[in-house]
Structure 1
C-alpha cells in the first residue's frame, strides 16, 4: 500500500524516530471485459461517431429507438435485456445518402423579408422532420436579442437557448451558442437581422393603453371564437401596463372552447416584451396560426406579425442501409468499424446487420476486416450465422464459406432467436449477437471473464424460442466444427450451449480453441499493456526489472485467487520473468526491456463423462 513521504526527521534526542517512505510498488488495474460495440444503421444519431451509452433509454434518446429497418436497435435492446451494462454505438449509413431536415428563418425587421438563419437537424434522417423551432423576443434586451426553443414532436426532447444575438462579436452569438450546446439542431447565419418571432406579435403600445372594453374575434387554425377583451363587471381593474394586458389576454383566450382533441386555445401563451405582446397557440402544429379579426383588432395593433406557433423543419431523408464497404469503413476518415480505433475500453464487437446479407461472400469480407481490427485492438467479435441457415444441413454446408476467416478473435453463433417484436407484438427472428453479448456481460460480472459464457447459467432472457431446435445428436455434428449452438432445455429455456472460437474446430487443434481462454488472454494482455506504461523512459536496470516482476505478479496473483487459472499454487498457475535472460545487453543498448508472462488458463468442461458401475453387496454408511 503506498504511503506519503514526509521530511526526514533530524535526530536531536535519544529515542525512536518514525519516517514514512513512498512505496515503490505500482499496481496494475484490471480493464473492462464486456463493453460491446454495435456498428450499423440506426434511425438517427451522429454518423461514424462512437457514442457510449449505459441503457436502452439512452439509446432511444440518442439514436431514435427501435426501427424495423435497424437490426442494431433490436440488438442493443437484447443486450441490455440480458445483462449488458455499457455499449458503444456507431451509426453508419450508405455514403452520400440521407439528408438533414431544415428550415430557413426570415426577418421582416427591415420591412423587407429576407432569410437570416438556417436551422438544420443535427443529423440526417426523417426523424428531423419532427423538429419544431419557436422564437420570441422576451429577453432583457428585447430590441436586440432573442430566444430560440427547439421541440422534438416525436421524441419529446426540448432545448432552449436564451439571449441570442445575430452579431458575430456578441458573447451570445446564435450559431456559436447553439452549435456547441444543441443535440438536436445546428444553425448557420445567412443574413443580417433577427429571425421573426413565432406566433402573432402586436404593434408597440403607447405609454397609455387604448380602450380595452372591445369585442374581439380570434381564429386559431380553422376554429373561430368571439370574446370581450375587458369587462369591468367581471375583470376588476383595467390593465395599466403591457404585462397586465398580456395576462388578461392569455386568461381570456384560454377560457375559450377548443376544437375536440385540440389544445390550441387551452395552452395559449401571451408574453409581453418591451411595449408589445406575442400570442402563441398552445400547439406544435404549424397550421395553428393565431389571427385577430375585425376593426377592433386592427385598432389595438394585434397583427403586426403573424406566423405559426412553431417553424417546422422539413426535407429530412433517411440514408440507405450501409453496404459492406460502408460497414468496413475507411481508416483515414475513421468511418464504419474503423471509427472504433480511437475508442478505448471496447471488448466485444457485434455487427447484427451481416446476418441479413444475401451474399455470404459480402458477409465474410466484413468479418475478415472486423477480425483484423479485433486483433489490433484486443476485441472479440461475435458473428451471427446467416439468416439462410434454417437447418443443420444448411449450417454444415455453409460453414465452408467461413474457412478464410477461421480466426481466434471471433465466435460464430447459430441459430437465430424468436422474440416478440416490441413494435408489432408479433414473433420475429433476430440475429443472436446482441443477446449473446448481454450473456457475456452477465457472466463476466457474476463469475469472471475466465468462465465460459455458456451453460445453464447462460440463459437468453426474453427469447421465446429458436428458429432451429437442435437435438444432442445435431449439436454433436456442429460443435466439432467450431459453431456455437444455442439450445432449448426443459425447465431452463433457450440458452447458449457452445464456447468455441472460429478457430476452435477439432481439425485445427488450436491452443485458442475456447472463447474464455482467448478472452482471458486478451484481458491480461490489455491490463499489462496499460499497467506497465510507467516503465517507459525508466532506467533499464535490475531495479526496474524487479518492480515489473512485482507489479505483474501482484496482478496475476489476484486473478489466481479469483479462480482464473488452474493449478493449486501460484507457481503452477502463472510466472513472470524479467531479468538478464529476457533482456540482454544488446536489448538494453537499444532501449528494450522484455517481460515474459505465462498463464495456465482454466479450460471449460465441454464433455462431462459419468461412468456408472453396477456392484453387488451392501454399502455400509
Structure 2
C-alpha cells in the first residue's frame, strides 16, 4: 500500500483492463551444421598469450546475401565423403520460398593436438609476418626469431586459405607541429604542439626542409618505408603535456618547436575473398590507440563483426617500427594458408553440447545452441543426409526430434530422407520415428546448380537437394500470408526444376497414411507440397498445422503471462488471467484458426476453485484449464454425384 503521511493531493496511475497476450512469431527457422566459414564457438590459446575464448551465439541473417557474408557461399564443405554444402543450399531455398529470419549455428569438428586442445595449425589459416633483419644474415644462421605478428582467420575452415591481405602506407601531407603558446618573460621557450593526434599515434620526423614522401612510390608501386630512426610515438608526460617517445630506446623527448616537419603514419588493410573486398583505412600502429590495427582487427568483438581475419601480436609484441616493417612486406595481395576442414562430421557434432554453467567461456554448440534462441519455431539438420552410416542418420534425426520435444522449446522439426530412396526404403526410414513435433517430406528436389559456370554449348548442370530448406520457407510464407493455422500444403515450391522421384496418385496412397508428406508435380499447377502430416501415430496430432497452432498458443500464453508469477494467488488474479486468455483466444478464433460459429463453441478458459484444490493454493500453484477446438485441414474433399430424373425426389 502507498503511504499517505503528508496532507495533500496524490495522483496515482492504475489500470482497469486485463493484460494483453501478444502472439509470438512462428516463421523463424533455425539450422545447425557445416558452412564454409563463419562464427562457431572455440577456445584457443596462441603461443605465449592468455586464453582466447570465442563464444558467438547463433547468428541471425535475414537474406541470403547476409548469409553469404557471414558464412560464405555454396562451395563444398566438410572433411567427409559427401562435401555438398547442404546448409547453405537450405538457407538459399528458405529465403527463395518466402522465409525472412534464419538462425545459423555453425558446427565445426575441430582437429585436436597431442594435448587434446584445438590445433591452430590444422584448423585456422595463418600468415606469419617477420620483420626483415638489417644487413646480411649471421654466419652460422641464428635460430629463427618468432614472427612479429601473425594474421589469422577469425574462424576455422579451409576457406581461410582463399583470404588475401594487402597493406598500404599512408603519410599525412600536413605539418603536424604547431606553434607553442607564448612563454612568460624570462621563461624557457615551450615546445611545439602536435595537432589532431591521440596518444600512441606514430609519426615520422624530418630534418630541415625535407619533403614528405608519398606513401607509395609512383614508379614501383612499393611503399616508401620510413626510416626506423625517425619514428616517434606520441605519448604523455603525465602532466597533460605531449611528448615523443623513441620506440628504439623508450626514452621520452619533448615535441620539437614549430616549423619542424613530421608526418602521421597509418596503414590501410585490404582483405579480399573472391568478390568480397573489405577495406580498413587509417589504422594506427600503436597498440593502445582507439584506431589501433590490433583493436580494429582483433579476434573478439572487432569493429567489423563480420571481419574475416585478425592480427595476433601475442607471440612477440613488436615495436611500432618492427610492426610497420613487417606489415609493409604485404604490399601485394598475399594469401593465408594452412586452414583445413578438421575431421569428418558426426551426429554428436550436430547435436552439440550445452553451455557449461561453471565456465562462462564455454558456449553451447550445434542444436543445443539453437535451444537458447527463443524465437525459433522451425528447425532442421540439413547435414544429417550426408552421413554414410544409417545409424548416424537415425541418430541425427532422433537428436532433432529430442531437440523439438525439449521443455519450452516450442518448435517443430523437418526431417530429410536420405538421397535416392525408393518408396519401400523411405517407408522403412519413416517407421523408425514417432513424434508429434516432426514432419517428413519426400522426395528430394532438383535445381540448376548455381555453383557451375554456365556453358552455352552444354546442358545446365543439375543438383539434387533435400527438401527441408524449401518446406521451411513454405512454412514461413504460409504463416505470413494466412496464419499458422493454415496447413503448409497445396503451396507452390519455388526455385526447382523437378522432383528427383515422381510421386503419382497411387504412390502417394502408400505414403500418406504413414505420415510421409509427398511433393508432387501437377500439370498446369506446378510443383507443390501435397501433404501436411506429422510422423506421429497419435491421431489427435496427425496434422502439422494443428501441432504448430498449439505451439503458437502455448508459447504466446507462456511468454505473455510471466507477470502473474508471485502475484497474490486469489480470485482477482484468476479473473485477470481468465480475461487475458479469453481476449487472446477470441482474436485467434476470428482469424479462422478455431472451429465454431461463436466463441463459446471455439474455446473455454477455467481458472477458479473448480481447477484448484486448497492443497494447490497452499503449495503456490495456480491451475488454468484451456480448451480449444482447432480447425483441421480439408485433406479429402469429397463430392458425391449421382443421376436423377426431373420427377425423382432428391435423396
- TM-score, with length taken from structure 2: 0.71
The Cα offsets for residues 329-382 of structure 1, whole Å up to 9 and x where unpaired, read as: 122451221111221200111112222333222111111121111112111000
Q: 1:329 aligns with which of 347, 352, 357?
A: 352
1:83 corresponds in structure 2 to 98
Indicate the larger mover: 602-611 or 155-164: 155-164
Task: Give the whole-Å Cα distance in 2 for the aligned partners of 1:35 and 1:485.
Answer: 23
Cα RMSD (Å) of the superposition? 2.9
1:309 corresponds in structure 2 to 332
Task: Give the whole-Å Cα distance in 1 for the aligned partners of 2:506 and 2:471.
Answer: 23
2:463 corresponds in structure 1 to 428
In the alignment, is the contact (CA less than 8 A) between 1:82 and 1:460 conserved in 2?
yes
Task: Give the whole-Å Cα distance in 1 for the aligned partners of 2:594 and 2:29.
Answer: 25
* 2:541 partner SS: coil
Q: How does 1:445-460 map to 2 (within 5 A)?
A: 445-455=480-490, 458-460=491-493
* 1:181 partner SS: coil
* 2:348 partner SS: helix
Correspondence 1:188 to 2:339: no
2:294 corresponds in structure 1 to 175
Correspondence 1:566 to 2:595: yes
2:270 corresponds in structure 1 to 150
Q: 1:495 aligns with which of 500, 505, 528?
A: 528
**1:73–1:163: structure 2 CA closer, same or farther, 3 Å change rule?**
closer
In the alignment, is the contact (CA less than 8 A) between 1:387 and 1:416 conserved in 2?
yes
Deviation at 1:185, TM superposition (A): 1.7
In the alignment, is the contact (CA less than 8 A) between 2:132 and 2:326 conserved in 1?
no
Task: Give the whole-Å Cα distance in 1 for the aligned partners of 2:108 and 2:147.
Answer: 31
Indicate the larger mover: 582-591 or 564-573: 582-591
Indicate the larger mover: 483-492 or 114-123: 114-123
Task: Give the whole-Å Cα distance in 2 for the aligned partners of 1:407 and 1:530.
Answer: 24
Q: How does 1:35-74 map to 2 (within 5 A)?
A: 35-48=28-41, 49-68=57-76, 69-74=84-89
Gaps of 5+ in 2: 1-6, 42-56, 77-83, 113-121, 138-144, 173-196, 204-232, 234-264, 356-362, 453-459
* 2:271 partner SS: strand
- TM-score, with length taken from structure 1: 0.74
Task: Give the whole-Å Cα distance in 1 for the aligned partners of 2:322 and 2:331.
Answer: 11
2:425 corresponds in structure 1 to 394
Deviation at 1:156, TM superposition (A): 1.4
Task: Give the whole-Å Cα distance in 1 for the aligned partners of 2:440 and 2:285.
Answer: 56
**1:516–1:613: structure 2 CA closer, same or farther, 3 Å change rule?**
same
* 1:511 partner SS: helix
**1:306–1:429: structure 2 CA closer, same or farther, 3 Å change rule?**
closer
Task: Give the whole-Å Cα distance in 2 for the aligned partners of 1:56 and 1:307.
Answer: 32
Deviation at 1:393, TM superposition (A): 2.9
1:281 corresponds in structure 2 to none
Q: How does 1:79-478 map to 2 (within 5 A)?
A: 79-96=94-111, 99-107=123-131, 115-129=147-161, 130-136=163-169, 138=171, 140=197, 141-143=201-203, 144=233, 146-160=266-280, 162-167=282-287, 169-179=288-298, 180-182=302-304, 183-189=307-313, 190-194=316-320, 308-332=331-355, 333-376=363-406, 377-389=409-421, 391-400=422-431, 402=432, 405-424=433-452, 425-455=460-490, 458-478=491-511
Q: 1:484 aligns with which of 503, 508, 517?
A: 517
Task: Give the whole-Å Cα distance in 1 for the aligned partners of 2:281 and 2:564.
Answer: 49
Gaps of 5+ in 1: 1-7, 12-17, 202-304
In the alignment, is the contact (CA less than 8 A) between 2:417 and 2:429 conserved in 1?
no
Task: Give the whole-Å Cα distance in 1 for the aligned partners of 2:605 and 2:405.
Answer: 24
Deviation at 1:21, TM superposition (A): 5.0
**1:46–1:431: structure 2 CA closer, same or farther, 3 Å change rule?**
same
Task: Give the whole-Å Cα distance in 2 for the aligned partners of 1:126 and 1:200.
Answer: 25
**1:479–1:153: structure 2 CA closer, same or farther, 3 Å change rule?**
closer
Deviation at 1:496, TM superposition (A): 0.5
**1:564–1:195: structure 2 CA closer, same or farther, 3 Å change rule?**
farther
Deviation at 1:173, TM superposition (A): 4.8
In the alignment, is the contact (CA less than 8 A) between 1:121 and 1:185 conserved in 2?
yes
Deviation at 1:162, TM superposition (A): 3.4
* 1:89 partner SS: strand
In the alignment, is the contact (CA less than 8 A) between 2:132 and 2:325 conserved in 1?
no
**1:586–1:109: structure 2 CA closer, same or farther, 3 Å change rule?**
farther
**1:40–1:474: structure 2 CA closer, same or farther, 3 Å change rule?**
same
The Cα offsets for residues 6-62 of structure 1, whole Å up to 9 and x where unpaired, read as: xx9979xxxxxx998534421111111111112111111112541110001111111
In the alignment, is the contact (CA less than 8 A) between 2:105 and 2:365 conserved in 1?
no
**1:598–1:110: structure 2 CA closer, same or farther, 3 Å change rule?**
farther
* 2:477 partner SS: helix
Task: Give the whole-Å Cα distance in 2 for the aligned partners of 1:95 and 1:115.
Answer: 25
The Cα offsets for residues 478-509 of structure 1, whole Å up to 9 and x where unpaired, read as: 11111111111111111111111000xxxx34
Task: Give the whole-Å Cα distance in 1 for the aligned partners of 2:92 and 2:492.
Answer: 16
Correspondence 1:530 to 2:559: yes
Task: Give the whole-Å Cα distance in 1 for the aligned partners of 2:374 and 2:281.
Answer: 33
